[in-house]
Structure 1
Amino acid sequence: MKAGAGKAGGDQAAAAPRSATIAIYSVKGGVGKTTFAANLAWCSAQLGQRTLLWDLDAAGGSGFLYGLEPRGTRLAEEVFTKDRPATKLIQPTGNPLVDVLPADESIRALDAQLMRIGKRRRLAKLAEELSADYPRIVLDCPPVLNELSAQVARAADLVIVPLPPSPLSARALDLVVREIADTTKRHPPILPVLSMLDMRRTLHRQVREAQPDWPAVPYASVVEQCAVRHQPVGEIAPASPAAKAFAMLWRAIEAKLAERRA
Structure 2
Amino acid sequence: MASIAVYSVKGGVGKTTFAVNLAWCAATISRRRTLLWDLDPANGSGFLLGVDPKKKRTAESVFAADRTPSKLIRKTEFANLHLLPADESIRTLDRQFGRIGKKKRLAKLTDGLRKDYDRIVFDCPPVLNEVSTQVMRASDLVIVPLPPSPLSTRAFEQVVEEVRGSGKSHPPILPVLSMLDMRRTLHKQARAANPTWPVVPLASAIEQCAVLHQPVGAFAPRSPGARAFAQLWTAIERKLALKKR
TM-score (norm 2): 0.97
Q: CA deviation at 1:171?
A: 1.2
Q: 1:31 aligns with which of 13, 16, 38?
A: 13
Q: CA deviation at 1:167?
A: 1.4
The corresponding residue for 2:219 is 236
Which deviations, in whole Å up to 9, do the C-alpha atoms of 1:12-63 show, x marking residues without a partner? xxxxxxx100000000000000000000000001211010000000010001
Which deviations, in whole Å up to 9, do the C-alpha atoms of 1:101-151 show, x marking residues without a partner? 000111100000001111000000101111210110000000000000000
The residue matched to 2:214 in structure 1 has which SS?
coil
Distance in 1, matches of 2:57 and 2:93, equals 11
Q: CA deviation at 1:93?
A: 0.5
Q: Percent identity?
A: 66
The residue matched to 1:206 in structure 2 has which SS?
helix
Give the gaps of 5 or more residues in structure 2: none
Is 1:138 equivalent to 2:107 in the alignment?
A: no
CA contact (8 A) 2:65 2:100 kept: no
**Kindly tell me: are residues 73 and 26 of structure 1, through their superposed partners in 2, closer, same or farther at Cα, counting changes over 3 Å?**
farther
CA contact (8 A) 1:20 1:136 kept: yes
The corresponding residue for 1:41 is 23
CA contact (8 A) 2:10 2:152 kept: no
Divergent runs of 4+, >3 A: none
Q: 2:165 aligns with which of 174, 182, 198?
A: 182
CA contact (8 A) 1:164 1:196 kept: yes
Q: CA deviation at 1:170?
A: 1.9
Q: CA deviation at 1:236?
A: 1.3
24-33 or 126-135: bigger deviation: 126-135
CA contact (8 A) 2:57 2:72 kept: no
The corresponding residue for 1:129 is 112
CA contact (8 A) 1:52 1:134 kept: yes
The corresponding residue for 1:191 is 174
When the two chains are superposed, the root-mean-square deviation of aligned CA atoms in Å is 1.0
Q: CA deviation at 1:261?
A: 1.0
The corresponding residue for 1:221 is 204
CA contact (8 A) 1:72 1:104 kept: no
CA contact (8 A) 1:73 1:104 kept: no
Which deviations, in whole Å up to 9, do the C-alpha atoms of 1:142-200 show, x marking residues without a partner? 00000000001100000000000111222111101111111222110000000100111
Q: CA deviation at 1:67?
A: 0.3
Q: CA deviation at 1:73?
A: 6.6
The residue matched to 1:144 in structure 2 has which SS?
coil
- Residues 1-262 of structure 1: pairs in structure 2 closer than 5 A: 19-45=1-27, 46-72=29-55, 75-262=58-245
- State the aligned residue count: 244
176-185 or 246-255: bigger deviation: 176-185
Distance in 1, matches of 2:211 and 2:147, equals 22
Distance in 1, matches of 2:111 and 2:68, equals 14
Which residue identity is paired with 1:48? R
CA contact (8 A) 1:73 1:105 kept: no
Give the gaps of 5 or more residues in structure 1: 1-18
The residue matched to 1:183 in structure 2 has which SS?
coil
Choose between structure 1 and 2 for higher RCO, CA contacts under 8 A separated by at least 6 residues: 1
Which deviations, in whole Å up to 9, do the C-alpha atoms of 1:192-244 show, x marking residues without a partner? 00010011111101100110100010001111111111110001100001100
Distance in 1, matches of 2:208 and 2:78, equals 18
